[in-house]
Structure formats: C-alpha cells, structure tokens
Chain A
Amino acid sequence: KAGVTQTPRYLIKTRGQQVTLSCSPISGHRSVSWYQQTPGQGLQFLFEYFSETQRNKGNFPGRFSGRQFSNSRSEMNVSTLELGDSALYLCASAQGTTSSYEQYFGPGTRLTVT
C-alpha cells in the first residue's frame, strides 16, 4: 500500500498570504489528523477529521482550518500567514479514530513564512 502523501513538500510564503496544504491518506483509512511541529513547541495537534466531519480541534486560532473530502483526502488552510506559522506540518491517517488506532504519518510540508 502507498503511504500517506503530502503536497507540496516545501513552501515559502510571505506574511499575510494564505496557503493550502494537501494530504492523501492510506487507502481505506477514514481518519486524517494534522499537526504542527516546531523546534520550540514540539508536536501540536491541529485537528482530526473522520468521515468528512471534524472530530477534534486543537488550540489554534481560526486562521487554521481544514476539511476532508468524500475520498478521505484532506486539505488544511492557513489564512493571513504570520512568521510564527513557519513549521513542519504533518498529516497522519488511521483506519479509525486516532484515539484507538495507530496513526501513519506523511513526510510533512515544510512551510517557511518570510
């Protein structure tokens, strides 16, 4: 089976712009979660989608949003980018909800905001 794929892998944006990141889960997986990873803050949970419904949301401002499509693919959007949004954004998929099933992570999208 193909693993979790994320596009693009690298992205450079300017402060104030918006960005959309994409994630394709492993075939058959219904849950997709998004995380932000920075050297100072570690791994921060953004949100989890299961069967197109947002199941959980972390403590991030409303500038961060996401959605999941009927084929389980997911997108994450960040509007009005700030310098502090520079991070590695990881997507993970699971067969079921992440609280019970192991997650499979993609390689991440490295976002740099200048």
Chain B
Amino acid sequence: AQSVAQPEDQVNVAEGNPLTVKCTYSVSGNPYLFWYVQYPNRGLQFLLKYITGDNLVKGSYGFEAEFNKSQTSFHLKKPSALVSDSALYFCAVRDPAPDSNYQLIWGAGTKLIIKP
C-alpha cells in the first residue's frame, strides 16, 4: 500500500543548530512531494514541493528538502534553527496510481521544538 512516514513524533534542536525533519515514502512511480507547516495559532502553510528536476528544493523561511529516490526520502532541512521554527510539520506525497485520482497521502506530522 502507498504510504508516507514521519518516523519522529518530536524533534528537539537547539537554536542555531541545523535541523532535519525526516520523511520517507512508499509509492510506485514518480512521486510528487510536499512539506507543510502548522505554526501555533497561524494555520497550515505550504513550505515547498518537489515535482521534478533538481533534487534539492528550496522553500519558504529558509527551509530546503532533498529528494532521494534511492532511499525514498524527502527530508526537510534548515542550516540554522530559529525558535520561531517551532511548529508541527507535515510531509505529503501524491499517490501516482491513476485509480487513486492521484490523491495526496499525508504523514502523521512531526513536532519540532527549538530551544533557545
């Protein structure tokens, strides 16, 4: 079955350190991959997406993600974390099966906590 996994419920990082939020997927074919972020009291927002092309995708707020086809991963990264990055992060992948109407599959979310 098609699936997406965010293996860590919570990630703790000190301010100024690099951060990584992990996402792995299991779909056949060529996936479309998305990251969304939910800040407290600010709703869900789109961060970045990978459709095709360069494996390194840059998004909002200094975030980037690397598509790794061999490892079926799309980890979210930032070189220097800010306290304001503390939020809930969701990874989503497009199911490439035509009979699924290309439905988006969502990960369970990872809570990122940046400590001053």
Q: Which A residues are within 8 Å of any B CB, using their own CB?
A: 42-45, 48, 55-56, 90, 92, 97-100, 102-108
Most buried by B among A42, A43, A106: A43
Across-interface contacts of A44 in B (CB, < 8 A)? 106
Task: Report B17-43 residues with CB < 8 Å from chain A CB.
Answer: 32, 34, 36, 43
**Secondary structure dominating the interface of A:** strand
Contact with A along B77-111 (1 / 0, CB 8 A): 00000000000001000110000111110101100
Across-interface contacts of A48 in B (CB, < 8 A)? 103
Q: How far is the CA of A99 from the CA of B96 in the complex (A)?
A: 9
Whether the Cβ atoms of B109 and A42 lie closer than 8 Å is: yes
Given contact pairs A56-B103, A100-B32, a sample of 6 additional A-B residue pairs in the complex whose CB atoms are under 8 Å apart: A45-B104, A56-B100, A56-B101, A92-B44, A99-B104, A102-B34
